[in-house]
Amino acid sequence: MARLEGKIALVTGGASVPGLGSATAHRFAQEGAKVWLTDRDAAGAEAVAQAIRDAGGQAVALAHDVTSEADWDAVFAAIEAADGHLDILVNNAGIAVLRPIGEMTTADWLLQNNVNLNSVFFGTKRAVVSMRKTGTKGSIINISSTAGLVGVPACSAYAAAKGGVRLFSKTVAIETAREGIRVNSVHPGMILTNIQGVAQEDNAANYDAVLGAVPMGFMGEPDDIANVNLFLASDEAKYVTGAEFVVDGGMTAV
């Protein structure tokens, strides 16, 4: 039997290819989940959903600005109308703007906290309310970063948001543990995604310094994160909550 057979999953930020959201959506569908794939880029999300369907999986794409509470309400309404409940939420949508503190603008700061932290609150709250309503023992997976664990040059706003995701996840995990709603954070290091390409162009000197600090000497692939997400989404992780999973080639072990 597939590891997510019959489960309903929502993955945000799923349009980017290569990306953590699209890789996770594919992996979940391969293991039997019906995946609701959302992104501000509706056409991109639909392309990923179609690729999943072409491979024999179940996927639905929706336009979704994760900084909009109205959009979150619409997404949950659509899922509940079609499938009755939600088993898995992956708060994956994110953005990185690398700037030294002297060059960081208020707009940079607010944008990264809105996309990377506020959206996680919006989605997690709605998932908890939905799961409580249906009695679902679900899994909420919040994508943080190694920048949410240790200092990284030029990442002050990004790190503030991702560090917030880490402790937010632990707190909600404690609040929901007795109900069987599990909440965990995943902390990718340097992964070969489109967002990393943008970050490299944006601040090449700092980016190269960070990559040079990876003990394994190379970047990971989106499937490295998707496979961790799969474990956390599955019943194999039924006793795992409030935890943080670091996937960084040893970067934070130094």
Report the alpha-carbon distance of residue 144 to residue 125 in Å, rounded: 17
CB 194 within 8 A of CB 19: yes
With DSSP H G I counted as helix, E B as strand and the rest as coil, what are the percentages for the chain, rounded to 5? 50, 15, 30
CB 89 within 8 A of CB 140: yes
Active-site residue flag, 158: yes
b/e per residue 149-186 (b: at least 16 CB within 10 A): bbebebbbbbbbbbbbbbebbbebbeebeeeebbbbbb
Which of the following is catalytic: 158, 168, 207, 245? 158
Q: Between helices 69-83 and 119-134, what is the axis angle to 10°?
A: 30
Catalytic amino acids?
158
